[in-house]
Copies of this chain bind each other. A is one copy, B any other.
Amino acid sequence: MLRALIDHPQRSGDPLSLTVNFCAPIAQGDFDLDVRLVKANRSMQHWFVELMQGAAEVATLATAVFAERRPSWSHQPAEFPQTTSFEQTLPYAKAAAPWVKQYDFRFVEGEPKFNAAPNTTPQTAFSKLWIGDRVPRKIDVLSLMSMSDAFFGRIFHARGELVPFGTVSMTTYFHADAADLAAEDIRRVLAVADANIFHKSYGDQTGKLWSPSGRLLATTTQIAYFKA
């Protein structure tokens, strides 16, 4: 959906925010996108995208903002986390799910541990990990968007078991534009994720994606369904 916007002839500027609402499961195979530029001015564009499969049933909705990012005062209060380097960190070996196989995950903290029985007391939902593409590839906004949803469900960490789980809505803000990303050859990000609450079948996730040099590239949040 983001690629369709980036490639759209009317697009101008770089992605600033993207919210994706997952309405129904997406099957492997063809899909149609209905893309609409709702509003635009000289420096900003507001987009609405619907993904349809089968009998024109909407499976996913997205709203996006693109912006011409002009020079300004810059300040990054968020601090780059203490970490071992990518090279010093062991790859995550237990890649079962197809999405996990797309990535080279290297956990610095909070590697998921799935036990025969759930944790009797909840464990931390915090993770810190390097994420790179399994086939190394320079990071662009498409990678950042995809990596924003590459985290394991926070509830898996807290409970120490896999439970039925699905992202309902997610939002990512991009803090680097195309020029910023082109200026560095970034091939992996340091990613942190955490949860604030699990309640009445829904839990949240917050995350940050950093360049190895300490630049905050994207922040992300999501709300997800679980059954436990």
Contact = CB atoms under 8 A, between A and B. Distances in A.
Contact of A195 (B61, B77, B158): B77
A142 interface: no
State the majority secondary structure of interface residues on A.
strand
A173 B72 contact: no
A159 interface: yes
Contacts of A225: 44, 67
Given A23-B46, A223-B17, A39 B57 contact: yes
B74 A199 contact: yes
B198 A72 contact: yes
A21 interface: yes
Interface stretch (A2-10, A132-140, A200-208): A200-208
Interface residues of A, number: 62
A102 to B, nearest CB: 26
A95 to B, nearest CB: 27
Interface string A47-90: 01010000001100101010101111111111000000000000
Contacts of A193: none
A23 B48 contact: no
Nearest to A38: B58
* 6 residue pairs, one from A and one from B, having the closest CB atoms: A69-B200, A78-B196, A23-B39, A73-B228, A72-B201, A17-B169
29 contacts: A16-B169, A17-B21, A17-B169, A21-B63, A38-B50, A38-B58, A38-B61, A39-B61, A65-B169, A67-B202, A67-B225, A70-B200, A72-B198, A72-B199, A72-B201, A72-B228, A73-B198, A75-B122, A75-B199, A76-B199, A77-B122, A77-B125, A78-B197, A173-B221, A176-B199, A196-B219, A197-B216, A197-B219, A206-B206
Interface of A: 16-17, 19, 21, 23-24, 38-39, 41, 44, 46, 48, 50, 57-58, 61, 63, 65, 67, 69-78, 122, 124-125, 158-159, 168-169, 171, 173, 175-177, 180, 194-202, 204, 206, 208, 216, 219, 221, 223, 225-228
